[in-house]
Amino acid sequence: MEALFSITVGILTACSIYLILRGRSFPIVMGLTMLSYAVNLFLFSTGRLVLNQLPIIGNQAEYTDPLPQAFVLTAIVIGFAMTAYTIILAVRVRGELGTDEVNDPQAKDGEGNR
């Protein structure tokens, strides 16, 4: 189970890094979203992987750590808001600048021209 889990997290992270390194805003947003999935899975595993147990101490001998679940929940909520904002921003950039290139070497207001 641990191997499968870590391979999943690893593949998700690798794909997201590939996407983030693309120069266009949409793949980057996809990459960031995918990275947040990978991170959430990773956070979940930090309490160690336990099957079919309650996150309550005292009822039974084995239990699963409740804290990582709370972390993941917080991270999901925050990540959701951030993704929404990035998508809107990417759409605005596409609409106002007419390109979805994240870095436009031909941009007139680039730092080199200031």
Partner 1 sequence: MLSQHLVILPILIPLLAALLLLLPWGENPQPYRRAIGLTSCVALILVALALALKVQNGVHVYAVGGWQAPFGIVLVADKLAVLMVLLTALLALPVLWYACYGEDSIGSHFHALFQFQIMGIVGAFLTGDLFNLFVFFEVLLISSYALLMHGGGKSKLRSCLHYVMLNLLGSSLFLIALGIIYGITGTLNMADLAVKLSQLSQDDAAIARVGGLLLLIVFALKAALLPLYFWLPQAYATTTGTVAALFAIMTKVGVYAILRTFTLIFGEHAGASALLGYEWLWWLGLGTLAIGGIGIIGSRDLRLIIAYLVVVSVGTMLTTFSMNSETSITAVLYYLLHSTFITAALFLIVDVIAKQRGKTASRIVKGRRMAQHGLLSGMFFVAAIAVIGMPPFSGFIGKLFILEAARTGAQVALLWPLVLGTSFLVLVSLSRAGSRIFWHNFNGKVGDVRHAKGQLTAIFLLLAAVVSLTIFADGISHYIEHIAEDLRNPTAYIEASLGGVANHD
Query: Binding mask 46-85 vs partner 1 (x if CB under 8 A, - otherwise)?
Result: xxx------------------xx--x--xx--xx-xx--x
Interface pick for partner 1 out of 12, 14, 28, 59 (rule CB under 8 A): 28
Smallest gap from residue 58 Cβ to partner 1 (A): 15
- Do residues 19 and 31 lie in contact, with contact meaning Cβ atoms separated by under 8 Å? yes
Residue 93 neighbours by CB under 8 Å, 6+ apart? 25, 99, 100
Residue 19 makes contact with partner 1 by CB under 8 A: no
Residue 55 beta carbon to partner 1: minimum distance, rounded to whole angstroms: 14
Q: How many CB atoms lie within 10 A of CB 80?
A: 12
- Say whether residue 86 binds partner 1 (CB under 8 A): yes
Burial readout 28-54 (b: 16 or more C-beta within 10 A, e: otherwise): bbbbbbbbbbbbbbbbbbebeeeeeee
Within the chain, residue ranges assigned H as helices are: 2-20, 25-45, 66-97
d(CA 88, CA 85): 5
Q: Contact between 2 and partner 1 (CB under 8 A)?
A: no
Site residues (vs partner 1, CB under 8 A): 20, 25, 28, 32, 35-36, 39-40, 42-43, 45-48, 67-68, 71, 74-75, 78-79, 81-82, 85-86, 89-90, 92-93, 96-97, 102, 104, 107, 109, 111, 114
